[in-house]
């Protein structure tokens, strides 16, 4: 499932992040790439242990923990501390697949990448190109969202970032290990969750909503790895 999550950060918050990041020291993005993706990756990145990356990353994770849509769709077990990248002057990232397992440098913890997330921090009108193109079961989906909006997609998908031919595109990107490893099961749980919420809005459906909520939790009990 590919999901847009609107306004993870407000426009003002995204602008503040962007202003701070514009002053930061960027390094070659290949620092965190695997062997195959290093050959395709041409962008800049904030070092993983850069104080600004840690500060903004913590804020993003704390905001996401209160975001019902994110929590319901990702069913997160662990979130990789958000990283930040910058594409300008023709930078691009050719077709690749994200590494299956990533180690958090500060803690040594390993995270299985079930879901990939890109949080856009620059508004689309401020740069040309830079679409994130994700190949999913419905074909290639091109994603370019307003500042503060995020896309969540299965890390199993091939994806690329088209060249930024004008302006600069600054984003945060990170991975999530979900309690539910498989995209099919996770999507089914999310659809069920959404349907229960619609049903529960009408008090005449109380008993059905309770029964279906029980089924939802029993499926999580059956499938969750924690």
- Provide the CA 40 distance to its chain's centre, in angstroms: 20
Is the Cβ of residue 98 or residue 114 nearer to Ni ion in the bound state?
98
The least CB distance from residue 64 to Ni ion, in Å, is 19
x/- binding map, residues 92-111, to Ni ion, per CB under 5 A? ------x-------------
The least CB distance from residue 96 to Ni ion, in Å, is 6
Return the structure tokens found at 128. 């040309």
Q: Is residue 131 near Ni ion by the rule CB under 5 A?
A: no
Is the Cβ of residue 110 or residue 198 nearer to Ni ion in the bound state?
110
Give the whole-angstrom CA distance, residue 124 versus residue 188: 32
Residue nearest to Ni ion (CB): 98
Asked if residue 176 lies in contact with residue 74, where contact means CB atoms within 8 angstroms, the answer is yes
* CA proximity to 212, closest of 194, 187, 224, 225: 194
The least CB distance from residue 151 to Ni ion, in Å, is 12
Return the structure tokens found at 129. 């190109």
Q: Is residue 48 near Ni ion by the rule CB under 5 A?
A: no
Give the whole-angstrom CA distance, residue 126 versus residue 101: 34
Positions touching Ni ion (CB under 5 A) are 98
């Amino acid at each position: 499932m590919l999901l847009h999550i609107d306004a993870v950060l407000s426009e003002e918050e995204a602008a503040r992040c962007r202003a701070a990041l514009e002053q930061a020291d960027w390094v070659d993005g290949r620092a965190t790439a695997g062997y195959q993706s290093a050959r395709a990756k041409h962008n800049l990145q904030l070092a993983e242990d850069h104080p600004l990356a840690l500060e903004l990353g913590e804020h993003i994770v704390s905001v996401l923990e209160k975001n019902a849509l994110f929590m319901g769709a990702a069913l997160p077990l662990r979130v990789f501390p958000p990283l930040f990248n910058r594409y300008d002057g023709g930078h691009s990232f050719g077709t690749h697949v994200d590494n299956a397992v990533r180690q958090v440098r500060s803690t040594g913890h390993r995270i299985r990448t079930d879901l990939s997330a890109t949080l856009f921090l620059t508004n689309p009108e401020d740069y040309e190109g830079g679409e994130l193109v994700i190949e999913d079961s419905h074909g290639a989906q091109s994603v370019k969202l307003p500042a503060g909006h995020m896309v969540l997609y299965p890390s199993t998908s091939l994806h690329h970032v088209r060249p930024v031919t004008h302006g600069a595109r600054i984003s945060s990107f990170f991975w999530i290990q979900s309690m539910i490893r498989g995209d099919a099961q996770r999507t089914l749980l999310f659809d069920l969750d959404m349907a229960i919420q619609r049903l529960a809005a009408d008090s005449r459906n109380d008993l059905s909503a309770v029964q279906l909520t029980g089924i939802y939790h029993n499926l999580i009990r059956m499938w969750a790895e924690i």
